[in-house]
Amino acid sequence: MNNIIEIEGLYKSYGKEDVLKFVNLTLTSGKIIGLLGPNGSGKTTLIKILNGLLKDYKGKVLIDGKPVGKESKAIISYLPDEPYFENWMTTSDAVHLFKDMYKDFDEQKVLQLMEQFNIEKNVKIKNLSKGMKEKFQLSLVMSRKAKIYILDEPIGGVDPAARDLILDTILNNYENDALILLSTHLISDIENIFDEVIFLKNGEVLLHENSEELREKRNASINTIFKEEFKC
Amino acid sequence: MNDFNSNIPIYIQVIKSMKMDIISGKLKPGDKIPSVRELALSLSVNPNTIQKALSELEREGFLVTERAVGRYVSDNQELIEESKNIEIDKRVEYFVKDMKSLGLTLDDIKNHINNLKEDHYE
């Protein structure tokens, strides 16, 4: 288990507003880690920095020992919180795009997942329902044999019945020694799959602990502890 | 089956539920245990949590691993019998305490039990 993500003194502001205030985090591979915090706590900003989408930050961010860049993008499979497909794109276009872009992409796997989710080939992505779009995007992202999966709110838009399916898809398809960093605000639905949880509050790491030890220590669920820490 | 109580470490609940299955005979000596990933999926639980629970069950002697083949329920009848008796005593004690809180004596409780009819519980 190596430190596949190392973050030291990470600071980011939008104008006068501090969004990340000197965040330190070390994340090891082979784990499923929950990045938890209310809206505006800095989750998506942190995730965008890890994926090289935001560059004007201060501090040190190392992915597999190297700064964010081409090499880190090649090993991170990223599910953004909003779909990024162009209006003209069909499901098959997106599959081909992933095939061209990522060496570690397994086309057979995505086709199999699409069949499982009843997502057809050659249909315009913009015509899919919100839940279908999420499933399609997750199928693409989980069909890469990546070292790191970063999933920003993967269960946000689907109904509770579909959440189990999404969780199964994640558990069933990731590489054993990979790191999964998953952000969500729907904690109770998903907390049993986390090795570790990170609580982010106003741009600071409030807590980063093993979830089983946390339950033992506080005699409470992660969901309850979260509510206690974030009550207004 | 995903009725874990998230207030208690999940691995402890996995251990308990699997022990129950062994004690009750739902899982029999020699039965193969599903792989870590299969269990993680069917219980919607982190694979490392399952790994930890299975290792503990192995350490306690309930499971054995055959290299490159998989995990099995061990044929340790003595351990299974002993655990079963502990579990029975625990539940009887709980039941008796509960009945005593209703004002019954041990003899009252025995009388009630003697009057039970087996077929009622089939």
Show residues of chain A in contact with B5, CB under 8 Å. Answer: 221
- Kindly state whether residue B63 falls inside one of the protein's structural domains: yes
Tokens 């499979």 -> residue = A77
| Residue B75 to residues A13, A18, A22, A110, B22, Cα–Cα distance (Å) | 62, 61, 55, 43, 11
Confidence at A1, pLDDT banded by 50, 70, 90: low
Token digits of residue A121: 């080939």
Residue ranges covered by each domain of chain A: 3-230
- Strand-pairing partners, residue B103, are none
Give yes or no: residues B32 and B66 share one domain.
yes
Rounded to the nearest integer, the mean pLDDT of chain B is 91
B34 and B53 both lie in a single domain? yes
Q: Which residues have C-beta within 8 Å of that of residue B42, sequence separation ≥ 6?
A: B1, B34
Please determine, for the modelled complex, whether the ipTM score is greater than 0.85: no
Q: Per the CB < 8 Å rule, is B48 touching A216?
A: no
**Pair B40, B60 in one domain:** yes
Q: Please give the DSSP secondary-structure letter assigned to residue B3.
A: -
The phi, psi pair for A184, rounded to 5°, reads -165, 160
Residue B1 lies in a domain: no
Identify whether B102 is part of a domain: yes
Tell me the C-alpha to C-alpha distance, in Å, between residue A3 and each of A62, A69, A177, A221.
9, 18, 12, 27
B65 and B91, same structural domain?
no
Residues B39 and B88 in one domain: no
- Provide the pLDDT for residue B122: 64
CB pairs under 8 A between A and B: 56
How far does B44 lie from chain A, in Å, by closest CA?
7
Each residue's pLDDT tens digit, A53-63: 999 999 999 99
B65 in the same domain as B41 = yes
Q: State the CATH number of the domain containing residue B23.
A: 1.10.10.10
Q: Does B97 lie in the same domain as B55?
A: no
A55-89 burial by CB neighbour count: b if 16+ within 10 A, else e? eebeeebbbbeeebeeebbbbbbbbbeebebeeeb
The domain tally of chain B equals 2
- Say if the Cβ atoms of A215 and B40 lie within 8 Å: no
Three-class SS of residue A146?
coil
Contact B107, B114 (CB under 8 A): no
Which pLDDT does position A232 carry in this prediction? 64
**Across the interface, do B37 and A172 touch by the CB < 8 Å criterion?**
yes
- Residues B14, B61, single domain; the answer is yes
B66 and B96 together in one domain: no
- Among B7, B40, B41, the residue with its CB nearest the CB of A221 is B7
Domain-embedded: residue B21: yes
Question: What are B88's two structure tokens?
Answer: 């029975």
The rounded distance, in Å, linking the Cα atoms of B40 and B47 is 5
Whether residues B94 and B67 fall in one domain: no
Considering the domain architecture, whether residues B94 and B71 belong to the same structural domain is answered as no
Can you give the pLDDT at residue B1? 41
Tell me which residue range forms the domain holding B88: 78-121
Q: Checking phi first, is residue B25 left (phi over 0); if not, alpha (psi -120 to 50) or beta?
A: left
SS3 assignment, position A12:
strand
| Residue B27, min C-alpha distance to chain A (Å) | 24
Q: Mind listing the pLDDT tens digit for each residue in A154-202?
A: 887 677 777 887 888 888 888 889 999 999 988 988 899 999 999 999 9
Q: Residues near A170 by Cβ (< 8 Å), separated by ≥ 6?
A: A138, A142, A149, A151, A154, A180, A182, A193
What CATH fold (topology level) applies to the domain A3-230? Answer: Rossmann fold (3.40.50)
Residue B111 lies in a domain: yes
Structural element, H or E, at residue A22: strand A17-28
Q: Chain B contacts of A225, Cβ < 8 Å? A: none
Q: How would you class A206 by CB atoms within 10 Å of its CB: exposed for 0-12, middle for 13-18, buried for 19 or more? A: middle
> What's this model's pTM, rounded to 2 decimal places?
0.86
Which tens digits make up the pLDDT trace of B42-52? Answer: 898 999 999 99
Q: Within this chain, do residues B19 and B67 fall inside the same structural domain, yes or no?
A: yes
Nearest to A212 among B9, B41, B44 (CB): B9
| Chain A: closest CA distance from residue B32 (Å) | 21
